[in-house]
Structure 1
Amino acid sequence: MGIATEISISTKDFSGKTINYQVANQMHNLRKWQQRVRVSSPRERRLANVLTVIGGTCQSLALSSNVLETSSMIYRNLDSHMEVKGKSVACIAAAVIYMACKQCDVVRSLEEICSGTGSNKDLKMKTKLAAKYYRTLVMEAGSVTAPVITMDKYISKISNMTNTDVRVERLALEIAEKTDDASVADGKAPNGIAAAYLYIASVLLGQNVLQRDVSSIAGVTEVTIRNRCKEILSCYKLNLTLRPSLAKN
């Protein structure tokens, strides 16, 4: 289901010994015929190309194997009853991954996924085409219920993409839970508030997290993060009590 068994190009066997030229030629012929048999038809070649793009995109975006497997299954079902010939490989792969992210409750925008498929050239056009494919995919596969995106998912996403310490993420989630109020979140971009929670937690724990790094991942400016931090700290008084799970070793 998207996982291929390949014959290695190496000239050594499983024990590390060099194989003779006759066996090497035999392996070369087997490798060549394996590739020919596996993609013997245009449909199989298209399937191999799309699954390769899906795998590379999921790897570049650090998506879980669950999303990768779900994407592969969605495309296989799509290819069996929908005409995908002539469609852009990168855009159809982005649409499939976007649907898989929704099914697996993973927060990723369609623009992020399109940028992960390769070059950012004509990214706006690629995103628009991928959105069109996604709408067609929803009509073919049935309605897909979008997951409810909560603040903790935004915080976890930014924390994972910035490789922030797990103690910082845990404290940011706790602060967000204690300061859950409409006066802070209403009319404001949730990714900016999540970035602010993460930055406040990093400062409280003495971690070196730069506003520049957090803002670039969250898609907001550094000024936005500072403003959201001021709003949170002006509305609430934070008392930090270090527990063994949060304290430094």
Structure 2
Amino acid sequence: MDIDALHDRGRRRIETLTAEVAADSTVTETATAILKAVYTEETQQGRSVTTIAAAAVHVACKVERVPVTAAAIADAADVQESHLLRRSKWVQSEIDRPVEAFDPGPFVDEYADALGLSDETRELAHNVVTVGIDQGIASGKSPAGFAAAAVYYAATLRDERCTQDEIHEVSGVSKITIRNRYQEQAEVVGDVT
């Protein structure tokens, strides 16, 4: 198959994936541009256009600061998450644009909106994230999980009704992960009200 046909197939796959994960047209455009830049005659050998399209969507979500997890993209693309993450690393190494690897901010906003929490609680959750990053406890953690715990922690500090079950429902992050991140944040952040 020639590269133009592969690009066309990849673009269609990107459109399907972004629709399935409810990402906006900006992600579709960015992912399509990334796919065309990295998926060439030389690099396409041995690399599935479906997996590269999924990796392009994953990287585009990071670039555009759209809170979609790798797990959601992998599920929509029907690929293993570990394989998607490996291809995403390759895609990032091929593009000339630095990609913010760890940014829980958009996830904080999404979860706070979904739970109907106050602006003060949202701001406090952002502060918890910032302090956690500054204190070095975020390294190697999922941005979605870190954000879910920060929202739970902030709601707890502000006495707003928000349970681990509710956070789990809106984020898809396991309650065990929420509890673990929450405990780590509580140890280094303390009472930041």
TM-score computed with the length of structure 2 as normaliser? 0.66
Deviations along 1:59-91, one digit per CA (max 9) or x if unpaired, are: 222333322111112223445654637743321
Change (3 A) 1:110 1:231: closer
**Equivalences, count:** 187
State the distance in 1 between where 2:96 and 2:109 align: 31
Give the match for residue 201 of structure 1. Answer: 154
State the distance in 2 between where 1:176 and 1:225 align: 15
Q: Name the SS for the 2:104 alignment partner.
A: helix
State the distance in 2 between where 1:78 and 1:187 align: 28
Higher helix share: 2
Deviation at 1:138, TM superposition (A): 5.2
Are 1:53 and 1:90, in contact at CA under 8 Å, matched by a contact in 2? Answer: yes
State the distance in 2 between where 1:223 and 1:233 align: 16
Say which of 219, 222, 229 aligns to 2:173.
Answer: 219
Deviations along 1:168-213, one digit per CA (max 9) or x if unpaired, are: 4233224545777628x37784644432320133343634x43124
Deviations along 1:210-233, one digit per CA (max 9) or x if unpaired, are: 312424636343475277259628
- Percentage identity across aligned positions? 16
State the distance in 1 between where 2:122 and 2:44 align: 41
Give the match for residue 147 of structure 1. Answer: 100
Give the match for residue 104 of structure 1. Answer: 64
Give the match for residue 165 of structure 1. Answer: 116
Q: Work out whether 1:74 is the aligned partner of 2:29.
A: no
Q: State the structure with bigger RCO (CA 8 A, min sep 6), 1 or 2.
A: 2
Say which of 84, 99, 117 aligns to 2:44.
Answer: 84
Q: Work out whether 1:228 is the aligned partner of 2:188.
A: no
Listed as ranges, the gaps of 5+ residues in structure 2 are none
CA RMSD, aligned part only?
Answer: 4.2
Listed as ranges, the gaps of 5+ residues in structure 1 are 1-40, 240-249
Deviations along 1:123-147, one digit per CA (max 9) or x if unpaired, are: 43x6426724752x456x4555332
State the distance in 1 between where 2:8 and 2:44 align: 13
The residue identity in structure 1 corresponding to 2:126 is: L
State the distance in 1 between where 2:83 and 2:57 align: 15
Q: Work out whether 1:131 is the aligned partner of 2:60.
A: no
TM-score computed with the length of structure 1 as normaliser? 0.54
Q: Work out whether 1:237 is the aligned partner of 2:187.
A: no
Who wins on radius of gyration, i.e. which is larger? Answer: 1
State the distance in 2 between where 1:106 and 1:211 align: 23
